[in-house]
Amino acid sequence: MAGSRLERIGTIYSRTAGLIQSGALNWADRPLWYDIYEAFPPKEEPRYDRPAPNMKLKQIFYKEDRIRAMFHRNNKHIGATNMFNHNYKTLTQRFIDTYQKVEQQYAGNATEEQIYKEAIGILKSEFESKKEKAAVEHEEESVSLSSQFRQAQSALDAQAKSKINLDVGDIFKN
């Protein structure tokens, strides 16, 4: 019986239709695609033994695909990308944009390797400048936080001195 589930014996549609006709599958429990298949049947039945159509497939490659492939071939450990955050461009997209700008500057007078190296250099310098800027901001923030902490600590010390001194024994007396 399990052998009848093979794709060689009928299509998924013919098997489902057979189950419905025999009563093994209730009409109300039919799959979602069943009504669509009946309304819009394919021109040729999708069988496993049907020969593949002899048609030439178009190669869909964009210029950016070649640049992206070059970038990922030479930089294997890029890291993960958060696909839900649309507020910033990925490292790959920033590289493609930089590469295209450099390529326009050279106007076809440089090789791909030269353009690649210059684009990588620009990205590295941008990364380092952002890193330095973040370090400076972090230092300024830590200095301001430490001064705020000192002020808050001195205020707490002043409050502690002004409070009434209590004895633990006085608290538990009845």
Decide: pTM greater than 0.85.
no
35-76 pLDDT, tens per residue? Answer: 999 999 998 888 878 888 888 988 888 989 999 999 999 888
Location of structure tokens 């684009």: 119
The pLDDT mean for the chain works out to 82
Non-local CB neighbours of 4 within 8 Å, separated by 6+ positions: 15
Euclidean distance between CA atoms 10 and 46, whole angstroms: 9
The pLDDT value given to residue 1: 46
In DSSP notation, 121-132 reads HHHHHHHHHHHH
Taking the domains of the chain in order of start, what are their residue ranges? Answer: 7-55, 63-162
